Amino acid sequence: MKTAISASGDSKESLMDKRFGRCPYFCIYDDESKGYSFHKNPGFEAQEGAGPVAVQFLVNEGVQKIVAAEFGGKVKPVLEQLQIQMIMMQGDRTIEDLINQLKK
Amino acid sequence: MPRPKRNRKVLSPPAFDAFLPSGTDSAGKEAIELNLEEYESIRLCDYDLLNHAEACELMHVSRATFARIYESARRKVAKAFVEGRAILIQGGDFKFEEKWWKCHDCGSVFNSPGRKKQKDCALCSSDYIEEYSSSAESYCICVSCGYHKKHTPGHPCREEKCPKCKSRMKKK
């Protein structure tokens, strides 16, 4: 199963981004291969509706779980319909931290 | 007896428990309890910028009821601001579209697509999770070592003994 984490940079030392739609990068972690990769978020520079653009991108990547601090009002109903799990985290966590928790 | 309150629909719970004022001693003052439906009304009106007519439909209540919830929410927030009190977000008569859980180990809040029952945390796989609802499953926690177990209904938590260090337990 693939999990996406909103990231503020493209290395595992960077922090999780607080926003889902407008985070600069997504880290996609695959718990079968235990590998992870960083992708630019196409919603980062979108004028309007950044959330749905980001969701579209993640669905194409086959993501089934998303970790972010908060999800916007436009995104929540879409994710519920697509049956993608939302995980909300507070505080400053690095990507490495979250991946280690997912590995448990 | 008045008619029971209709459950107000809430999209998702906030990912935190409380707001605390800084620079003042709020510990001595009683905290303000903001219901989840009041939190939702502020989110819909002042964060998502909906008008009352749109917001009341999302919460499955009448426009007048929505206005009352919102009014009460604003008064509570104003009281907390002016008097420097903490705001606890808890309780209320509400339901979620989806089921939501909170993990006590890593602090994450997550939902379950397809209404499946969630046994462990989606992030850290801990089994110390609690469902977000008006009648949530509760835990007994040990006062000295922090060991926790699921509460058995009918057995008061304070009569339970911690299996690790044999000390008294209390309600989480």
Q: Can you tell me the distance from the alpha carbon of B153 to that of B168, in angstroms, rounded to the nearest whole number?
A: 17
Whether A96 shows a pLDDT value over 70: the answer reads: yes
Q: Report residue B95 as tokens.
A: 């339901």
My answer on whether B30 and B103 are in the same domain is: no
Q: Which neighbouring-strand residues pair with A39?
A: A26
CA distances from B153 to A37, B92, B105, B132, B171 (A): 46, 22, 23, 18, 12
**DSSP single-letter state for residue B94:** E
Min distance A77 CA to chain B CA atoms (Å): 9
Which of A27, A85, A95, A97 to probe by mutation at the B interface, max B CB count within 10 Å?
Answer: A85
Whether A76 shows a pLDDT value over 50: the answer reads: yes
Q: Can you tell me the distance from the alpha carbon of A37 to that of A8, in angstroms, rounded to the nearest whole number?
A: 14
B47 burial (CB, 10 Å; 0-12 / 13-18 / 19+) is: exposed
My answer on whether B31 and B86 are in the same domain is: yes
Which of A89, A94, A102, A103 to probe by mutation at the B interface, max B CB count within 10 Å?
Answer: A89
Mark yes or no for CB contact B110/A85 under 8 Å: yes
What's the domain range around B65? Answer: 8-95
Query: Among the residues of B32-155, which ranges form H helices?
Result: 36-42, 52-58, 63-83
pLDDT, position B67: 96
Helix (H, G, I), strand (E, B) or coil at B144: coil
Task: Find the closest chain A residue to B115 by CA distance.
Answer: A83
Q: Is the distance from CB of B85 to CB of B33 less than 8 angstroms?
A: no
My answer on whether B89 and B108 are in the same domain is: no
pLDDT, position A32: 84
Cβ-based contacts of B46 with chain A (< 8 Å): none
Q: Is residue B163 part of a domain?
A: yes
Domains detected in chain A = 2-103 (3.30.420.130)
Mark yes or no for CB contact B125/A80 under 8 Å: no
Q: Taking the CA atoms of B44, B45, B51 and B55 in sequence, report the sign of the dihedral they define.
A: positive
Q: pTM for the complete prediction?
A: 0.64
Average pLDDT, consecutive stretches of 10 residues, N- to C-terminus, chain B (172 residues): 84 83 82 92 90 90 95 96 91 79 84 75 82 63 78 73 79 70
My answer on whether B89 and B47 are in the same domain is: yes
pLDDT, position B153: 65
pLDDT, position B154: 67
Q: Can you tell me the distance from the alpha carbon of B43 to that of B144, in angstroms, rounded to the nearest whole number?
A: 39
- Number of CB pairs, chain A paired with chain B, less than 8 A apart: 53
* CA nearest neighbour of B12 among A33, A21, A72, A8: A72
pLDDT, position B135: 47
ipTM: 0.76
Q: Give pLDDT tens digits for A9-66.
A: 888 888 888 888 888 899 999 888 888 889 988 888 877 778 888 888 999 888 988 9
